[in-house]
Structure 1
Amino acid sequence: MEMLPATATVFATLAAWSVVLLVAHILLQGFFATRELGSAWNAGPRDEGRKPEGVLAGRAGRASANLRETYPAFPALCLALAVTGDPSGWGLIGAYVWFAARIIYLPLYLAGIPYIRSLVWLGSLAGLAAMFLSVVL
């Protein structure tokens, strides 16, 4: 049986941990919405159209939506780099940058910190760009 390169294992591990990050976003959003509207709302069909209006529920929801906008690119690029290799190492650096930036982004968004949050978001895009360039170049 042929062994995978060490970087392929790292990309697989980062992709797996990114799922934990995604689930954390979803759970946090649900937590703040449930805290505001109650467990009966959360457990019910939500047919009445009520939406959480509180600051933290709104921020958690928007941060989660923001993650989900670019999230599909991350595991796809991890897979591509695991398969094709990453001889320059920039793909792995990009993956770590994306992952760290997405972790940092959440508390910045929840705290309502502007500008720095936007810079961190740009950093996550730069990480994806480094990954993409490592695949195609």
Structure 2
Amino acid sequence: MTETMLSTELGIVIMLSVFAASLWIPYIVGVNMHPQQGVDDFARPPALTGFPEWVHRAHRAHLNLLEQLLPFAILTLIVDRLGGYSDLTYWTTITFFWLRIAHAVGMISGRARSPLRPVIFTGGWICCLLMAYAAFTA
């Protein structure tokens, strides 16, 4: 039986996947704390404009994470398949992890305002580009 170790890169993708799978919770808590009158939530979700700002931001934080995690995870899996892990991929995944945590916390709390939040999101995009570079050069 061959023993394999989980790489840091895949470990971070696992943690971010669990984070993404759980980031709906703040939104649902907010929706349930502020029910909308005359709205059948099961027929059609209520408009976000009827909720406090943090509920809308929680929804967007979840979508933003999904927007970047999917390509990042795919690229990481490709690099894994190609055996292309390096110092670049190690630090890129660590950076991506902390950027995504900071983005979600900052967005939901409302503390990461412009230009900070777009800079954090752009940093995540740059991490995706770096991982694509690692895949092409593996």
Instruction: Report the TM-score range of the alignment, normalised by the length of the smaller protein.
Output: 0.7 to 0.9
Where does structure 1 differ by over 4 angstroms across 4 or more consecutive aligned residues?
Answer: none
**For the residues of structure 2 that align with 1:57 and 1:87, how far apart are their CA atoms?**
38
The normalised TM-score by structure 1 is 0.81
Give the TM-score, by structure 2 length: 0.81
Shift of residue 70 of structure 1? 2.0
Q: Distance in 1 between matches of 2:85 and 2:104?
A: 31
Against the structure 1 CA distance between its residues 11 and 34, is the aligned structure 2 distance closer, same or farther, given a 3 Å change threshold?
A: same
The answer as to 2:95 corresponding to 1:97 is yes
Q: How does 1:113-124 map to 2 (within 5 A)?
A: 113-124=113-124
Aligned position for 1:72: 70
**TM-superposition CA deviations, 1:91-118 (whole Å, max 9, x none):** 2221111111000001221233221111
Q: Secondary structure at the match of 2:134?
A: helix
Residue number in structure 1 paired with 2:42: 46
> What letter is aligned with 2:27?
Q
Q: Which has the higher helix share?
A: 1
Give the stretch that moved more between structures: 122-131 or 8-17. 8-17
Q: Deviations over 1:24-75 (max 9, x none)?
A: 321111111111118xx8xx75215523422111111111111122221122
Q: Which amino acid aligns with 1:77?
A: L
> What are the ranges of 5 or more consecutive residues in structure 1 without an aligned counterpart?
none
C-alpha distance in 2 between matches for 1:104 and 1:85 = 29
**Count of matched residue pairs:** 131
1:6-17 aligned within 5 A = 9-17=7-15
Change (3 A) 1:87 1:74: closer
